Amino acid sequence: MKLTNLNLATMSGGYGLIPNAALVIEGDKILFAGPASEAPAGDAINCYGTLVTPGLIDCHTHLVYGGNRAAEFEQRLNGASYAEIAKAGGGIMSTVRATRAASEAELLHSALKRLDTLMAEGVTTIEVKSGYGLDVDTELKMFRVARQLQKLRPATLKTSFLGAHTFPAEFKENHQAYVDIVCNQALPQAHAQGLVDAVDAFCEGIAFSLEETEQVFKAARALNLPVKLHAEQLSNLGGAKLAARYKALSVDHIEYLDEEGVDSIQSSGTVAVLLPGAFYYLREKQPPPVAALRSRGVLIAIATDLNPGSSPVHSLLTTLNMACVLFGLTPEEALLGVTANAARALGLKDRGQIKAGLKADLAFWTVESPGDLAYPLGLNPIAAIMQDGKFSKAFT
């Protein structure tokens, strides 16, 4: 299939713009991407001068969960902190109770709506974490829902095991017993059932210590699974440094990452994933060290962190805007953060740019330049979406 009359943002070396371009798609791959004048001859579909980017990649979400935490939003606006609510048994634990109580069909139904909302903005690859089960059965249930979603929609779903999200109430006095369940039961069982693509943890004062996180990383290594980490979100524990030692794919949040931490993730080639939605909702004051990340050439990705507590954000385009306004990223950096660099954060080499040989996951936009994608709020300028070489949303 040949497509003409389009402007490509290849996301190779910045925007990597190619005006008056053509694409040739064969099967699920890009066969040619370049100036129309150099394209192989043949009948072509007119794309009306649309801008084409790689399909967007949301590399950090908690898409599957039960319940609703709007009441906590009110509590926080009345002065309670996220950590205080968590210590009082709310926060993540509140969602754990609701997720345990929910049937698989209920979880699937609510997650599907969220997935469709993300996909409507040209998102073609989405990471989904477990971590609201915190017992073997419910963690497996969450993964089964993620795999069901994969069957129902064309987007690629990558799963991360987040059994080490927080300590469930029943293990409040015996953390090690819970870490043992995570490392010796939940993770190996989920892995044996082919449900896990990567292993994550929440390393924080209110969650897992460095030592506990390392036990989870060792269990992941024993199964040959890549790791990532919620690190340095509310304080600086040195989680990023630990993650770098385990060659983590990404460290996420990282508002409190210091220079030493930046150096260590630079040497391990770990991607810095910024989550402006959580920063916005928790009304944090300390932004991540963007200047230091830039000056060391650390790859920066951006994600919604879609979850019911700290980031009920269902729009990757909104997240692009937040990354620019709140963290000072340029629109070009932000767009790299949801394409080329987000692919790296998931360890995916076959997508995130528009290049011959890569997967034909593409988003077609009715905007003049890629910078327009990060500028307005609440506008969805999508014209068409191609997934695996097929239009999942056709031009209308």
Residues that bind ligand NIG (CB under 6 A): 62, 91-92, 95, 202, 230, 233, 278, 305, 307-311
Closest approach of ligand NIG to the CB of residue 114, in Å: 14
Q: Which of residues 127-166 bind Fe ion (CB under 5 A)?
A: none
The CA radius of gyration of the chain, in Å to the nearest whole number, is 21
Closest approach of ligand NIG to the CB of residue 309, in Å: 3
Name the binder of 387 from ligand NIG, Fe ion, none, CB < 5-8 A by kind. none
Q: Are 180 and 171 in contact (CB under 8 A)?
A: no
SS3 323: helix
Name the binder of 58 from ligand NIG, Fe ion, none, CB < 5-8 A by kind. none
Q: How many CB atoms lie under 10 A from the CB of residue 289?
A: 22
**The binder of Fe ion chosen from 72, 232, 284, 305 (CB under 5 A):** 305
Closest approach of ligand NIG to the CB of residue 214, in Å: 18
DSSP of 216-263 = HHHHHHHTT--BEEEESSSS--SHHHHHHHTT-SEEEE-TT--HHHHH
Question: Which is nearest to 240 in space by CA: 226, 254, 227?
Answer: 254
Name the binder of 138 from ligand NIG, Fe ion, none, CB < 5-8 A by kind. none
Closest approach of ligand NIG to the CB of residue 230, in Å: 5
Q: Considering the rule CB under 5 A, would residue 232 count as an interface residue with Fe ion?
A: no
Between 212 and 305, whose beta carbon lies closer to Fe ion?
Answer: 305
Between 305 and 361, whose beta carbon lies closer to Fe ion?
Answer: 305
Name the binder of 122 from Fe ion, ligand NIG, none, CB < 5-8 A by kind. none
Between 255 and 305, whose beta carbon lies closer to Fe ion?
Answer: 305
SS3 340: helix
Question: Which is nearest to 269 in space by CA: 243, 295, 289?
Answer: 243
Between 58 and 214, whose beta carbon lies closer to Fe ion?
Answer: 58
- The 3-class SS string of 87-111 reads HCCCCHHHHHHHHHHCCHHHHHHHH
Closest approach of ligand NIG to the CB of residue 361, in Å: 25
Total residues binding Fe ion (CB under 5 A): 1
Name the binder of 118 from Fe ion, ligand NIG, none, CB < 5-8 A by kind. none
Which DSSP symbol is given to 171? Answer: G
Q: Is the dihedral of CA 348, 350, 351, 352 positive or negative?
A: positive
Closest approach of ligand NIG to the CB of residue 234, in Å: 8
Between 4 and 94, whose beta carbon lies closer to ligand NIG?
Answer: 94
Between 239 and 308, whose beta carbon lies closer to ligand NIG?
Answer: 308
Contacts of 137 (CB under 8 A, 6+ apart): none
Residue bearing tokens 């524990």: 237
Between 121 and 305, whose beta carbon lies closer to Fe ion?
Answer: 305
CA torsion angle 111 115 116 120 (round to 10): 160
Question: Which is nearest to 61 in space by CA: 283, 245, 319?
Answer: 319
Between 67 and 371, whose beta carbon lies closer to Fe ion?
Answer: 67
Name the binder of 315 from Fe ion, ligand NIG, none, CB < 5-8 A by kind. none
Helical pair 92-101 and 136-152, crossing angle rounded to 10 deg: 70
Q: How many CB atoms lie under 10 A from the CB of residue 81?
A: 13
Closest approach of ligand NIG to the CB of residue 258, in Å: 19
Closest approach of Fe ion to the CB of residue 169, in Å: 20
Closest approach of ligand NIG to the CB of residue 96, in Å: 9
Between 273 and 324, whose beta carbon lies closer to Fe ion?
Answer: 273
Residue nearest to Fe ion (CB): 305
Residue nearest to ligand NIG (CB): 309
Name the binder of 213 from ligand NIG, Fe ion, none, CB < 5-8 A by kind. none
Contacts of 107 (CB under 8 A, 6+ apart): 64, 65, 66, 99, 141, 142, 145
Residues in contact with Fe ion by CB under 5 A are: 305
